[in-house]
Structure 1
């Protein structure tokens, strides 16, 4: 194949989840519904936290940022897929693909960091309840959020800008519904060894450190809870961690599932279908997990919805 640099590349082709035209309508309706539910659910979480002063605590501050990250990730991937299906056009411009890749990396990196921070917040609340407000003060919370966002943006920019050094071949078909960096690198005609090494290193760091932090936090939490004398205290401690554990299990469980499926199958299309469980499903379910299991959140949501209803 004749290589050409990015200035000569007019577009990539996002092949989506299926080539069957009869399934396109079903996929469009399904993903449109998922997207609307995701945006509405996460937006309600953000509005509920911001409007209720009783939820102005570190845990809910981190939760609202997690919802914001979910909104960004879903908005980065799903609308373009819906537009392509509706227009029956698979193309995405080079700069659009690069931008989409960058925002996906920022959102997933930020979400990884937030899940680790939320685990530490639960550790501080359960293991050091008397010093919780001192440990998780407002300044530290803001610093942790800004640092996580800064690291995510810097890493995403580095990986995305490294793509500018690559030349691409004529066959620019991406067997996915969005521009996943690993899939884009496979299309490069020039040497992408450094890009792949950097990608694996970043994946290891952004996956390894947060997961290690989560495991450490919950190990200490478990040890502290088991030493509690009363059953009621144990149940209350576990209930405060239940929602976060569910979100962590969903997020990392689906990610591991995608990794295993990609390792066991040679079909890139099947890997793309499996990626839906990682890039779409957790973002839709997170608001339900937190709102259904949390009395404070349900009260804030009822108050918010009641206020909007009376306004209308």
Structure 2
């Protein structure tokens, strides 16, 4: 069950503590790793020196090590060629000690992200972005590797509302293949009635206000305000955006796609940071462990 904390505001929503939930999940994964004969291997590939990507990769590698994984990081210069990157992926595809391969996105502009993802062995595609895994998810194949952010979001939704969402209306704002589309499929599989909205949706606030479950995944700071939130809704804020803040040493603060201070009518909401973000890394670890166990059973 997800860790829920009371709001500091008496009339505010329950705050869903994704960080605490992710810690429990990774602890469970470490226990599972200790009980099996195979050591899960995760290889993370970082191209270039983007500071945010470097932080994400470092957090992923540290979590993998805490889970007892064989963790490998390949850091390539920003001017790496497609041939060099594809050759590395092919080497990792053939490496029996590696069960999961993650190429940190975005890649430098001269590299073809779609071609890079397509080169990854679908059974090692622990980000769940390969078209084979997208197809598996669409048809309900239980061996589909689901993208980590939708999987983590769904875990938190189920923890608040249960695994059967029959009779509940869900609105997903955002239609990306990384978050919006796979999350909509997961919600439908849980029997929710799902609407996918986006930047060109007319009367977006009115559409969102129908939602018992509202997911914001558009990458626009605080675009979802009070008028878009149905009283009693469960709100999952996937966005993470930097906004200028001279009071911070860094010069900025992180906010979600939802105006948190305006979400007082919600029943429960994920904070930014500390909500969906930690769950994404936890689900990456779970996907890697699952891939390792499938390979050990001869299914991968």
What is the TM-score when the length of structure 1 is the normalising length?
Answer: 0.30
Instruction: State which structure, 1 or 2, has the greater radius of gyration over its C-alpha atoms.
Output: 1
Q: Which has the higher contact order (CA 8 A, sep 6+)?
A: 1
Q: Where is the strand percentage greater, Structure 1 or Structure 2?
A: 2
What is the TM-score when the length of structure 2 is the normalising length?
Answer: 0.31
Q: Where is the helix percentage greater, Structure 1 or Structure 2?
A: 1
